[in-house]
Amino acid sequence: MLKDKTVLRNTIAVIVGLIIIYTIIQFGLIYNANRLHWDDKIFPEWRHVIKYFSHGEGKRFEVQFFGSMLAISGIAALVGGVITALLVKRAKQAYTMFVGFIVLIVALGDVLITPYHPTWYEIAICPVLFFSSWIGGLIVDLIYKNFLKKHKPSSQSY
């Protein structure tokens, strides 16, 4: 039987992980577009930015923009996975895989709905997001198993 506190804690951990991933990707998008001479001061819809860097004047920056977005998305998923794993009590990798799956579904939706992504980006973004978040959980799980459990005092007295 699951305790209500555990369910609430795990739900909050997943939501916090997703918010962190979203925030890092948004800041990365703004920084990346400004760095590559995006001329609008206010960001319109995401599809306008993608169209500019894949079909407009910014086409010459296509590999730099989408390559940077791929790296930023991977870092965001890794950090979100680490935060999620730190907040859940058990099954750290399972919850980070769940976060990765949610982000994967969102990325697939974005790729299917927005037609201006380069093909290599469409292929690469999904595994990068999923595996980066899973690696974040794996890192935290390994740290907990290898370092924190070894240094925990034993409850048995001899």
Tell me which amino acid residue 52 is: Y
Taking CA atoms, 24 is separated from 17, 56, 92, 155, in Å, by 11, 26, 21, 42
Residue 16 is predicted with a pLDDT of 95
Expressed as residue numbers, the domain containing 139 is 2-146
| Distance from the Cα of residue 147 to its chain's centroid | 26
- 157 within some domain: no
106 is a domain residue: yes
What's the pLDDT at 155?
Answer: 52
Whether residue 31 lies inside any domain: the answer is yes
In a domain, 156, yes or no: no
Expressed in angstroms, the distance from the first to the final Cα of the chain is 34
Judge whether 121 and 66 are in contact, CB under 8 Å. Answer: yes
Stated pTM of the model: 0.82
pLDDT of residue 152: 60
Q: In a structure prediction context, what are the per-residue pLDDT tens digits for the chain, which is 158 residues long? A: 456 788 888 899 999 999 999 999 888 888 887 787 766 655 556 777 777 778 777 788 888 888 998 999 999 999 999 999 899 988 888 888 899 889 989 888 888 888 888 888 888 988 888 888 889 888 888 888 887 766 665 555 44
- Distances in Å between the Cα of 104 and the Cα atoms of 59, 78, 133, 140 are 26, 13, 10, 21
Q: With beta carbons less than 8 A apart as the criterion, state whether 53 and 59 touch.
A: yes
Is 32 domain-assigned?
A: yes
Is 98 contained in some domain?
yes
Number of domains in the chain: 1
